[in-house]
Structure 1
Amino acid sequence: MAFKRKLLLGFVTAGSLLCVYILCLNLSSATGPLKTFHRFTHKHNGNLLDFGELLDQEGINVQSTPISTLDRELSVEPKPEENSVVPNVPDVPNVPTVPNVPTVPTVPNVPDVPTVPNVPDVPTVPNVPNVPESSSRSDGVGKPRTINKAPPLPQQQPTKAHGPTEPSFIGDTYMSEVFPPQTECTDSIQRLAAKTEFGRRFLNDIPVVQWAQHVTQESYQRLSKYPGTHGWGGIDYKTLVDTLSVLNSSANWRMLDDWKDRGDESECIRCAVVGNGGILKDSKKGKEIDSHHYVFRTNGAITKGFEQDVGSRTTHYTFSTNTMMNSMRAYSGAGYRGPPKSNETRYVFLPDHGRDYLLMKAAATHTKVETGPERNKNPSDYFGEDVSAKKLKIYHPDFVRYLRNRFLRSHTMQTKFRNIYRPSTGAVMLLAALHTCDQVSAYGFMTPDFKKYSDHYYDSVYHSVGFYANHDLRMELSLWQQLHQAGLIKLYMR
């Protein structure tokens, strides 16, 4: 009897083991082999990315990473700043979830620009109108607004490879203001440009100069992304408000503010833009230059003793504080003592740094410069005792950035010098005239035979033209030729 019970127990045990074995075989067949890595999906910019494949393509050993860590990293959708990068995830639109996804190549021409720090919420200074950009005026000034991008030139279209289509520091979006035309000139540059290859580059409603209405918190947030003359990066809001608040009349928002008072019945505004190139030496162009309605000059613009070649009038003097100070040091031996002074002269600042805003404010308020490299300097020493806010203008950073992006988009922008590159002061001046005058004649600018002439018309001995990383003078030379051939400017060439 005992033997029968032991035998029955043995059969039950063997049967149980057989059932367990059969159950394990079925389970193994249903689940398949164990995966070598875990697959995760994550939504980025509206596209479903396969992290199992992409992370593996990046050479990351997913097996060595605890699953809980990956879950924490991938469970929250990242919200990167404008210039930040999502870790290990290329910015690739519409990546299909298929095996063997190839490694995405690095997007060309996209520099690693540091993220702009958050702009503090600075309270508006009392007695300064903080006009929103959607406001309008009843004195002929149109509504300032931010506009969308115009179609880029074919040669300027960025690559259509995966990733961002435009480096974030480019900023090809600008403020727009509509001003009534000052003349009815049928042959104006603005009308002719539409019929040329330059038609797609021109934005006729972009503000050339900035004034009181332009400084708003919204504009400050937008323009603080861009350094130097292309934006308000590095300049505190209070300095901007203090400076631009004194530029609050029509004389400040129009480049050619006194056209109605000149008493000239001409249908077209004729402007002479005078560079300092050696091609003007012995040119005998002085009388012709002075016969224009307006005469633009820049930097070391010496006229005394050179009137026969370059004329004597200056209606608009373009400079940055840095270039003006350097010119006073470098060309003092040739007779440069500072900006030209006359009743008709307007001083147009090219704001490279905060020091330009500080000097402008001191000049407008007849006070000494409060801080910076020009601290305690008296602006009347540079601009004369009769300088006033009505004689001061300052280029809008949107305008300078637009010139760089649309007209002088140099290869330098793809190099480590991208943050210091800008159009030369003379180039900004000439292109500003192109956007404000009806007809433009350019003198003293680089031509293909520039090696025949000294750097400046007032050089006592020959000096070759210097080329530096912050400007692309050869590209500017080519642009002047193109504008001349298109009939948009009349370029003086020997």
Structure 2
Amino acid sequence: MISMTGMKLRRKLVLALLTAGSLLCVYVLCVNLEGSWSIEPLRNFHGFSQKPNSSSRDSEEPQDRRNSSERWSRPSPASTRHPEHPSAAALQKHTPAHTPPPTSETQTAAEPQAAAGATSKSEAVGGTWSSTRGPTPPRSTEPAFIGDTGYMAEDVPAQTNCTDGVRGRVAQTRFSGRFLGRVPVLQWANHVSPEQYKRLSQYSGAHGWSGVDYDTLVETLSVLNSSANWLLLDDWSRRSNGSSCSRCAVVGNGGILKDSGRGPEIDSHHYVFRTNGAILKGFEEDVGSRTTHYTFSTNTLRNSMASYAGLGFTGPPLSQETRYVFLPDHYRDYLLMKAAATHTAVDRGPERAKDPTRFFGQDVTAEKLKMYHPDFVRYLRNRFLRSGTLKTRNKFIYRPTTGAVMLLAALHSCDQVSAYGFMTPDYKNYSDHYYDRKYRPVGFFANHDMRMEMTLWQQLHQAGLITLYMHK
């Protein structure tokens, strides 16, 4: 009997040990799986609200853009394509075509406000550029592609004697620490050199020269060799008519302009800026008829012509006073620029064999062509429109919209700026464009942060740096 009892106890002990061992194995397995399957908190994912900084909500990503990346995998039909929608190749590859090791300048990039007092001091004499670096900015963990130090700087003589211009007022506003008045707005022949090519090849898209070979760059910029290519308002001496301040109307294509009756007011400015699908015929009473500066990239121009042809847009405005301002975010922009300046067909790329006079008219000359400087576009992104998208997988395709670059270029060049047709907080009350035949909601895309831009326009208006048209 004792022997049978002992055997039962031993069996129970063995069973208990096996059970404990099994539970221990399951526990260890669960711990390992938990480590490999852990989920990042939703607040860090693109599309979910993040905590804004103390002074602005600009860093938040709109929640209604949560699924915007899905739009990128399915190109829209031509009739509804967003003019700034990138090519399929751009969507498949979000990294720069060429990313050399970061230099000391990009490794020490500072936050916008901190860097304002430590920006390199540079002089441009006869078009040459040299850096006499000031105090070293604080080290930062920013990735090299941000590049918020070492911008080219030039001393551009004042074109007016205006006492109430943007540059005089900005120091008394919240934007004083962000504003760099010596970053060149435009690039031209004297800006290209092996040293500058090495520096700017670190940055992709509209923010640098990565993806543009040096020979193409030299061939293109060599035709931009006059003051007309260097200055945004190149004909001010003829246009001023005794005025001491340059007044610029910057016109977006927003539906808020429909039935606005602002056309005569817009045309009364010294300069009138427009962009992309700027349809004028039939809408003159609301948007005016003059265009002195037309801003575009080759991609946005071609997409606008495809998307809005049925509404009357067949190409850029054509007039004696119109200047064509390229926003170069691809090598094809440099090729089209060279072709337009030399009246030759585009020699390669997506526009191969295209006749540039089809876009810019028979009388286009090099003096009517301009091209934004990549340092200027990168500076705008870093100092004015630093979106949370820069921390996501879409960081290399993000840039300010073409309209935003146009408006901020005017802010850096004109004395007084009035903005029409730009997004306002009541944007849902209006169709996407003033020329839409029926209501179309505003679309959001991963390569832009239009909500952030809308907030910036409100801030600039409140600071008295622009006058933004809004329905009362």
Please tell me the TM-score bracket, short chain as reference: 0.7 to 0.9
The structural deviation recorded for 1:144 is 3.0
Q: How do 1:180-195 residues align onto structure 2 when only pairs under 5 Å count?
A: 180-195=157-172
Please say if residues 149 and 172 of structure 1, whose CA atoms lie closer than 8 Å, have aligned partners that are also in contact: no
The structural deviation recorded for 1:333 is 1.0
Please say if residues 275 and 297 of structure 1, whose CA atoms lie closer than 8 Å, have aligned partners that are also in contact: yes
Please say if residues 155 and 182 of structure 2, whose CA atoms lie closer than 8 Å, have aligned partners that are also in contact: yes
Q: Aligned with 1:144: secondary structure?
A: strand
Q: 1 or 2, which has the higher helix percentage?
A: 2
Q: Aligned with 1:451: secondary structure?
A: helix
Partner of 1:463: 440
Q: How do 1:39-54 residues align onto structure 2 when only pairs under 5 Å count?
A: none
CA RMSD across the alignment:
2.1
Task: Please give the alpha-carbon distance, in whole angstroms, between the structure 2 residues aligned to 1:222 and 1:461.
Answer: 47
Partner of 1:345: 322
Partner of 2:141: 165
Larger RCO (CA within 8 A; separation ≥ 6)? 2
Please say if residues 223 and 338 of structure 2, whose CA atoms lie closer than 8 Å, have aligned partners that are also in contact: yes
Please say if residues 97 and 211 of structure 2, whose CA atoms lie closer than 8 Å, have aligned partners that are also in contact: no
2:403 equivalent to 1:426: yes
Q: How do 1:85-164 residues align onto structure 2 when only pairs under 5 Å count?
A: 116-117=99-100, 136-137=125-126, 144-146=129-131, 164=140
Partner of 1:474: 451
User: Residues 208 and 151 from structure 1, CA distance in 2 versus in 1: closer, same or farther, beyond 3 angstroms?
Assistant: farther
Q: How do 1:224-263 residues align onto structure 2 when only pairs under 5 Å count?
A: 224-263=201-240
Q: Deviations over 1:445-480 (max 9, x none)?
A: 000000000000000000000000100000000000
TM-score w.r.t. structure 1 length? 0.70
2:412 equivalent to 1:435: yes
Of the candidates 368, 391, 409, which is equivalent to residue 368 of structure 2? 391
Q: Aligned with 1:477: secondary structure?
A: helix
The structural deviation recorded for 1:165 is 2.6
Please say if residues 145 and 177 of structure 1, whose CA atoms lie closer than 8 Å, have aligned partners that are also in contact: no
Q: Deviations over 1:4-47 (max 9, x none)?
A: xxxxxxxxxxxxxxxxxxxxxxxxxxxxxxxxxxxxxxxxxxxx
Task: Please give the alpha-carbon distance, in whole angstroms, between the structure 1 residues aligned to 2:333 and 2:201.
Answer: 16
The structural deviation recorded for 1:362 is 0.3
Rg larger for: 1
Task: Please give the alpha-carbon distance, in whole angstroms, between the structure 2 residues aligned to 1:385 and 1:147.
Answer: 45
TM-score w.r.t. structure 2 length? 0.73
2:335 equivalent to 1:378: no
User: Residues 276 and 148 from structure 1, CA distance in 2 versus in 1: closer, same or farther, beyond 3 angstroms?
Assistant: farther
The structural deviation recorded for 1:151 is 10
Please say if residues 147 and 175 of structure 1, whose CA atoms lie closer than 8 Å, have aligned partners that are also in contact: no
User: Residues 114 and 263 from structure 1, CA distance in 2 versus in 1: closer, same or farther, beyond 3 angstroms?
Assistant: closer
Task: Please give the alpha-carbon distance, in whole angstroms, between the structure 2 residues aligned to 1:237 and 1:360.
Answer: 15
User: Residues 115 and 295 from structure 1, CA distance in 2 versus in 1: closer, same or farther, beyond 3 angstroms?
Assistant: closer
Partner of 1:126: none
Unaligned runs of 5+ in 2: 1-93, 103-121
Q: Deviations over 1:194-251 (max 9, x none)?
A: 1101001011111000000001000000000000000000110000000000000000
Please say if residues 185 and 373 of structure 2, whose CA atoms lie closer than 8 Å, have aligned partners that are also in contact: yes
Unaligned runs of 5+ in 1: 1-110, 120-132, 153-159
The structural deviation recorded for 1:146 is 4.0
Query: Aligned residue pairs: how many?
Result: 358
Q: Deviations over 1:145-201 (max 9, x none)?
A: 34758999xxxxxxx9xx843211100120000011001111100110011010010
Please say if residues 252 and 274 of structure 2, whose CA atoms lie closer than 8 Å, have aligned partners that are also in contact: yes
Partner of 1:313: 290
% identity of equivalent residues: 68
Q: Aligned with 1:422: secondary structure?
A: coil
Partner of 1:269: 246
Q: Aligned with 1:192: secondary structure?
A: helix
